[in-house]
Structure 1
Amino acid sequence: MYSSVEVLGFAREPAWLPWAVQYFFLIGISTAAFFLSLPGLVWRHPEWRAVSRRALLAALVCGLTAPVALLADLHQPGRFLNFYLHPNLGSWMAWGSFFIPLYLLGLFLYAWLCLRPQLAALAERGGKFAALYRALAYGGHDNPGAIRAAAVVGSIGAGLVLLYTGMEVMVVQARPLWHSPVLPLLFAVTALTGGIGMTGLLEALSGSRTSALLLNRWQVRGQWATLLLLLVWLLPAFAGAAGSAAEALAAMGGSLGWQVTGAWLFGSSLLTLWLARRYRTALVLPALLALHGAWLVRWVVFIGGQSLPKIGSTSHAYYLTLTPDSLLGIVGMAGLCLTIYIVLTTIIPWDDRAEV
């Protein structure tokens, strides 16, 4: 007696391209860096003063860049306007169109209030930008109450952004790698480690290492939390429990590429943890590895998650190409971040001697 097996495979381009990876990466870093700025600029803890200034700079650089990646992922501004013209309040993505402006409004207001005294001091020194500094300072008074109020608005917005960026991916039941309650927590924790990494990188670029011990101490905690969440996601699947993690592992089974990727994800987290604990005054290597780890998690989830078959048995590998939607877009976003960093650091000094 003979039996036949029909194997179906449907080749399909990924719906979420590297633009989505960059947006989730940059907005996560911005929100985490915003929270890192609060101890020094709102609560005025002396040990956090320098690192909070660098964190505010990181929040602004990534916060200004992230919406560009989001609009590029939507391919045309009209799609973004549709969220407001025809709101679907049952969609996490639609709610995100309200959370993002709330966060950015709070961030920019908070940054302006924190920088006003410094802008007034720069105006007093004179120079070709004196008139601009005077206009931006708008009196230049340090107003702790207003800073706290703006920080509350920014904190609510940042928390909602972290919530929606995790939830809008987690609710997709058709993607086993996405549909896990661990995913929003993993995105939030890796956003924290990436935010610490970006702040540490800016600290190194400023030529200061005064905050290295503080940043590495929090980096260690973040990496431990990342490893714990990865284990929480994987252990039930290895134990044979049913669920999305088990489905994802079954789809990855026998793939050398997935095994290497998984090993590197765990290995890079362990390496970052070891460097942050062993070399507590180091900034560049732990920072770069932390940024790489935060980006890799999002790449694996978005691009890797879409490569797993929804139906049939065919995986759909994605390859980087020299196109705006792929490698050129990634390089372009890095260039935009660098450009905004250069502009902000040219207009406003961010070193330890600058007054807040």
Structure 2
Amino acid sequence: MNTTVEVLGFAREPAWLPWAVSYFFLIGISTTAFFLSLPGLVWRRPDWRGVSRRALLVALVCGLTGPVALLADLHQPGRFLNFYLHPNSGSWMAWGAFFIPVYMFGLCLYAWLCLRPQLAAMGQSGEKFAGLYRRLAYGGHDNPGAIRMAALVGSIGAALILLYTGMEVMVVQARALWHSPVLPLLLLVSALSGGLGMTGLFEVMSGNRAAAPLLNRWLAYSQWASLLLLAVWGLLGASGLSSAAAEALAAMQGAFSWWVTGAWLIGSTVLTLWLASARRHTLLLPALFALQGAWLVRWIVLMVSQSLPKMGATTPRYVLTLTPDGLLGIVGMVGLCLTIYIVLTSLVPWDEPAEV
């Protein structure tokens, strides 16, 4: 008796491109860095004063760059405008179009209020652009109440962005790796790790390394949380308590590349944890590995996960190409971040402690 087995395969282009990874990476860093700026600039804690100032710079650089990557991922501005012309209250992605302006408004207002005293002082120093600094300062007096109100608006916007970026991925039931309540928490924790890493990198670039123990302590906490969430997801899949996690694990078992990817993720997380714990006075290496880990989580979730077949037996693989939708786009986002960093640090010296 002859048996015929028909194998179906469907080749599709990836729905999400590296632009999306860049957006999730940058906006996650910006929002968590915004929260890192609060202890020193709002609550006026002396041990956080300098760190919070660099964290605010991180929030501005990544916050101004992230939406550009999002617009590029949509390929044309009209798609973004469509969220406002035809609102869809049932879509987390559509809600994000309203959350982003709230956050950006709160962030920019908060940054301006924090920088006003310094702008006023620079306006009185007789520098070349003293007149511009005086106009930007608009009086220049420190107003803690206004700073707290702007920080509240920015905090609400940042929390909503962290919520929607996790939920818009989690609600997709067609992707077994995405449809898990652990995923939004993992994106949140890895965003905090990236925010700490970028703040540490800016500390190194500004020559301020005294905050290394403080940043490394929180970085170690974030790595422990990441390992815990990965373990919970694995247990949910292995025990069958989560059908989506079990399905994702079953699809990964026969692929050597997934074993390598998983080992890389866990190994880099453990290495970052060791660097943050054993070398508490070192900033550069823990910061770089933290940024690598935050990017890796998003690359796995948004790009590598698309190799898992939704139907059929075909396992499509994404190859990073030297195109605007690939490597050139990533390099362009790095260049835009660097440009904004140069502009902001040229206008205002960020290596000084915040005003109290």
TM over 0.5: yes
Counterpart residue number, 2:126:
126
Q: Cα 1:353–1:144, aligned 2, differ >3 Å: closer, same or farther?
A: closer
Contact 2:71–2:80 (8 Å) recurs in 1: yes
Do structure 1's residue 250 and structure 2's residue 250 form an aligned pair?
yes
Query: What is the rounded CA distance, in whole Å, between the counterparts of 1:55 and 1:353 in structure 2?
Result: 12
- Give the number of aligned pairs: 356
What's the CA shift string for 1:269-313, capped at 9, x where partnerless? Answer: 000000000000110100010000000000000001111111001
Displacement of 1:353 after TM fit? Answer: 4.8
Matches within 5 A, 1:36-47: 36-47=36-47
Query: What is the rounded CA distance, in whole Å, between the counterparts of 1:353 and 1:256 in structure 2?
Result: 50
Counterpart residue number, 2:286:
286
Displacement of 1:126 after TM fit? Answer: 1.5
Displacement of 1:239 after TM fit? Answer: 2.9
Query: What is the rounded CA distance, in whole Å, between the counterparts of 1:242 and 1:287 in structure 2?
Result: 34
Query: What is the rounded CA distance, in whole Å, between the counterparts of 2:81 and 2:245 in structure 1?
Result: 35
Counterpart residue number, 2:204:
204
Do structure 1's residue 25 and structure 2's residue 32 form an aligned pair?
no
Counterpart residue number, 2:213:
213
Q: Cα 1:36–1:354, aligned 2, differ >3 Å: closer, same or farther?
A: closer
Contact 2:50–2:354 (8 Å) recurs in 1: no
Query: What is the rounded CA distance, in whole Å, between the counterparts of 2:245 and 2:354 in structure 1?
Result: 49
Query: What is the rounded CA distance, in whole Å, between the counterparts of 1:194 and 1:42 in structure 2?
Result: 22
Deviates more, 1:319-328 or 1:3-12: 3-12
Counterpart residue number, 1:192:
192
Letter in 1 for 2:204: A
Displacement of 1:208 after TM fit? Answer: 1.2
Do structure 1's residue 303 and structure 2's residue 303 form an aligned pair?
yes
User: What is the TM-score with the length of structure 2 in the denominator?
Assistant: 0.98
Query: What is the rounded CA distance, in whole Å, between the counterparts of 1:253 and 1:7 in structure 2?
Result: 19
SS in 1 for 2:315: coil
Query: What is the rounded CA distance, in whole Å, between the counterparts of 1:93 and 1:187 in structure 2?
Result: 16
Letter in 1 for 2:290: A
Query: What is the rounded CA distance, in whole Å, between the counterparts of 1:295 and 1:316 in structure 2?
Result: 21
Letter in 2 for 1:12: R
Query: What is the rounded CA distance, in whole Å, between the counterparts of 1:352 and 1:2 in structure 2?
Result: 80
Do structure 1's residue 232 and structure 2's residue 235 form an aligned pair?
no
Counterpart residue number, 2:176:
176
Displacement of 1:144 after TM fit? Answer: 0.1
Do structure 1's residue 261 and structure 2's residue 277 form an aligned pair?
no
Counterpart residue number, 1:64:
64
Gaps of 5+ in 2: none
Displacement of 1:241 after TM fit? Answer: 4.0
Displacement of 1:355 after TM fit? Answer: 3.9
Query: What is the rounded CA distance, in whole Å, between the counterparts of 1:181 and 1:239 in structure 2?
Result: 16
User: What is the TM-score with the length of structure 1 in the denominator?
Assistant: 0.98
Runs of 4+ residues deviating >6 angstroms: none
What's the CA shift string for 1:172-216, capped at 9, x where partnerless? Answer: 000001100011111111000100000000000011111101000
Query: What is the rounded CA distance, in whole Å, between the counterparts of 1:272 and 1:183 in structure 2?
Result: 20
Displacement of 1:238 after TM fit? Answer: 2.2
Query: What is the rounded CA distance, in whole Å, between the counterparts of 2:49 and 2:37 in structure 1?
Result: 8
Displacement of 1:256 after TM fit? Answer: 1.3
Counterpart residue number, 1:336:
336
Letter in 1 for 2:297: V
SS in 1 for 2:12: coil
Counterpart residue number, 1:151:
151
Query: What is the rounded CA distance, in whole Å, between the counterparts of 1:166 and 1:354 in structure 2?
Result: 33
What's the CA shift string for 1:128-170, capped at 9, x where partnerless? Answer: 1111111110000100000000000000000000000000000
Displacement of 1:337 after TM fit? Answer: 0.4
Letter in 2 for 1:222: S
SS in 1 for 2:3: coil
Query: What is the rounded CA distance, in whole Å, between the counterparts of 1:169 and 1:186 in structure 2?
Result: 12
Displacement of 1:2 after TM fit? Answer: 2.5
- Aligned-CA RMSD value: 0.9
Query: What is the rounded CA distance, in whole Å, between the counterparts of 1:228 and 1:126 in structure 2?
Result: 55
Counterpart residue number, 2:102:
102
Displacement of 1:314 after TM fit? Answer: 0.8
Counterpart residue number, 1:117:
117
Letter in 2 for 1:169: V
Query: What is the rounded CA distance, in whole Å, between the counterparts of 2:124 and 2:353 in structure 1?
Result: 16
Displacement of 1:352 after TM fit? Answer: 2.9
Counterpart residue number, 1:82:
82
Displacement of 1:240 after TM fit? Answer: 4.2
SS in 2 for 1:113: helix
Contact 2:53–2:353 (8 Å) recurs in 1: no
Query: What is the rounded CA distance, in whole Å, between the counterparts of 1:353 and 1:225 in structure 2?
Result: 31
Do structure 1's residue 273 and structure 2's residue 288 form an aligned pair?
no
Contact 2:22–2:69 (8 Å) recurs in 1: yes
Q: Cα 1:313–1:80, aligned 2, differ >3 Å: closer, same or farther?
A: same
Displacement of 1:252 after TM fit? Answer: 1.4
Contact 2:50–2:353 (8 Å) recurs in 1: no
Displacement of 1:102 after TM fit? Answer: 0.3
Displacement of 1:354 after TM fit? Answer: 5.9
Query: What is the rounded CA distance, in whole Å, between the counterparts of 1:216 and 1:149 in structure 2?
Result: 30
Q: Cα 1:242–1:89, aligned 2, differ >3 Å: closer, same or farther?
A: closer
